[in-house]
Structure 1
Amino acid sequence: MRPLVYILCLAFLTLGCSKSSDDGVDEGQNPENPDGNPNQGAELAVNLVFPHKDGLCNLGTDITPTQSTVLFEWQASDIAENYTIVIEDLTTGTIIQAETTEDKVPVTINRATPHAWYVESSSGSKSEKSDTWKFFNAGPGVQTYAPFPAVLDAPAMALSISTASVTLQWTGSDVDDDIVGYDVYLGTSNNPSIHASDLTANELNVSVTSGTVYYWKIVTKDEVGNASDSDIFQFRVL
C-alpha cells in the first residue's frame, strides 16, 4: 500500500511542474511580454527642450528681417522610429510640419511672432504626442511682447452640461510676465460680446440657460496695452 501512495504523489508533482509548458509559456518568460522585447511598454512620447516653454527665443539664425531659423530640440525616445514636429504661428494660424529621425531639426519661422509647437513620435503603427509649448520668436526693434493667447481649460470644446451655472477656466502666460487682466467674452453667437472685463482671476462662474449653445473666449491684456485673443470655444447646456 505504501509504494502505491509514493507513485501517486510523484505523478501529481510531475503534472504540476509541466503546467507552464501546457500554457505555452516557457520557464522564465514574462507572460505579459512573450516576445521578450525590452522596449515594450517604454515611453514613446518625448519631452521638449528648446525653444523654452513660455519663453523668448533669441537664438535663431536671422534669414531676413521677418524670418529666422530656429533649432527645435527634444529628448529622444528609446523606441521612436521617427518624429513629426508641428509648429503653429499663433498670429496667422499657419501650420508648419517637418519629419526627422533625429532629436532636433532646424525650421524657418516668422520673427516677432508667438508660436506653439509639439512633437509626435512614432514607432510602427503607434504614435504619441508631446506636451504643447508656446514661445515668442524674437524680432528686431520689439521692446515688449503681447501675452500668449490664453488656453481655455474648461468647459472643454463642445462639451454638453446640465447645470444652471458653469465655471469658465483658462490659463494665461506672457514672456514679459506683466499680465494685468482678462476680458471674458460670452454669448449665444459665434462672435460673443464682452461679458466681464479686467478680471485678475483665471476663472469666472456664469449662469446659463438650458437648451442653449454658448460661445466664449478670453482676451489677455498686459500692462503696456498689448492684448491677445484666445480661440473661441463652445458648450451646450442640456
Structure 2
Amino acid sequence: MRFLSILIVAVILLGCKKKEPPKPPESVQLVFPEKNSECTTGEDINATTSQVEFRWGASSNTETYELIVTNLENGNKQDVTVTTTSAKLPIAKGTPYSWVVISKNSAVLQTASSPSWNFYNSGFETTYAPFPAEIVEPKMGASAFKDINNDVVLRWSGADVDDDIIGFELFLSTETPPETSISTPGPDATDTKVSVVANTVYYWRVITKDSEGNTSDSGIFEFRAL
C-alpha cells in the first residue's frame, strides 16, 4: 500500500512538472563568400549577372534561415528564406555586396543575426574600389558622451580586396549631408577625436581612398553628443 502511495505521488509530481519554454534560435557562422574577399565562383547568367551560392553553418533551435544580400552601391536588397544552410542568388558582377543570415524559429518571437560580411562579386575589373568604411561607433542614432575635453571618439573600420587603401577623409557637421572635412587620417587609422557641443546632433561619414584613385562612401550616420 505504501509503495502504491509513493507511486501515485510520483506520477502526480511528474504530471505537474512545467514544460520548458522553446529556446530562441542562435546565430550562424558565415562561410562563403568570405569576408572582404573577391568571389570568383559565380555561375554566369549573362554579361552583367552571375549566380552566387551563399553558405553558412547550422545553428541551434532554428527552423529557417533568411539570407539578406545588399548591393553596397545602390542599397538594393535581395532576400530568400530557406531551411538549408545554403542559397543561391543572382547578383551583379563587379559589384560590392554585404550579406547576413537571420535565424528564425516559429515557436518564438526572437531571431538571431549573424555578423555582416562584405565581398566583391567578380567581374571584368582589374582593380576594385575599397569597401565602404564600416562605422563602429557612434552607431546610427546613438548617444555619445563627450569627455572632459569636450571630445567624442569616432571609430570606423576599412577594408579593400586589393589591400591598397591610402587613407580616409572624415566629414562632420550639424547639418546633413556633412560637407565639412575634419580629418584625413592615414591607411592604418581607425579612430579620431572631434570636439562637440552637448545636446547637439551631429552627422558624419567616412570616405575611403585607394592608390588607384578609387573611393567609397560609408553613408551618413548621426549621433547626439551628451
TM-score bracket, normalised by the shorter chain, equals 0.7 to 0.9
Q: 2:203 aligns with which of 201, 215, 229?
A: 215
Matches within 5 A, 1:174-185: 174-185=160-171
Deviation, structure 1 residue 211 = 3.3
Deviation string, structure 1 residues 131-163 (Cα, Å, up to 9, x no partner):
1111000002x0011110011111122222342
**What is aligned with 2:183?**
196
Deviation, structure 1 residue 21 = 5.9
Tell me the TM-score normalized by structure 2: 0.85
Deviation string, structure 1 residues 164-187 (Cα, Å, up to 9, x no partner):
110100011111111111101111
Partner amino acid, structure 2, of 1:161: A
Deviates more, 1:115-124 or 1:156-165: 156-165
Deviation, structure 1 residue 237 = 2.2
d(CA) in 2 for partners of 1:116, 1:232: 17
**What is aligned with 1:228?**
216
**What is aligned with 2:29?**
47
d(CA) in 2 for partners of 1:133, 1:25: 50
- Secondary structure of the residue aligned to 1:217 is strand
Q: Is 1:172 the counterpart of 2:158 in the alignment?
A: yes
**What is aligned with 1:138?**
122
Matches within 5 A, 1:113-124: 113-124=95-106
Q: Is the 8 A contact 2:103 2:111 kept in 1?
A: yes
Tell me the TM-score normalized by structure 1: 0.81
Deviation, structure 1 residue 80 = 1.5
- Show structure 2 runs of 5+ residues with no match: 1-5
Matches within 5 A, 1:1-238: 26=14, 35=19, 44-124=26-106, 125=108, 126-140=110-124, 142-163=125-146, 164-193=150-179, 194-200=181-187, 201-238=189-226
**What is aligned with 1:6?**
none
Percent of aligned positions with the same letter in both sequences? 37
Deviates more, 1:95-104 or 1:42-51: 42-51
Partner amino acid, structure 2, of 1:191: P
Aligned residues: 213
Deviation, structure 1 residue 25 = 5.7
Partner amino acid, structure 2, of 1:121: S
d(CA) in 2 for partners of 1:203, 1:53: 21
CA change 1:79–1:236 in 2 (3 A) is closer
- Secondary structure of the residue aligned to 1:147 is coil
d(CA) in 2 for partners of 1:56, 1:172: 16
Deviation, structure 1 residue 35 = 4.1
d(CA) in 2 for partners of 1:169, 1:144: 27
Deviation, structure 1 residue 112 = 0.3
CA change 1:65–1:199 in 2 (3 A) is same
Q: Select the structure of larger CA radius of gyration.
A: 1
d(CA) in 1 for partners of 2:123, 2:72: 15
Deviation, structure 1 residue 43 = 5.8
d(CA) in 2 for partners of 1:56, 1:76: 24
Deviation, structure 1 residue 210 = 2.3
Deviation, structure 1 residue 102 = 1.1
d(CA) in 1 for partners of 2:195, 2:62: 47
d(CA) in 1 for partners of 2:152, 2:199: 14
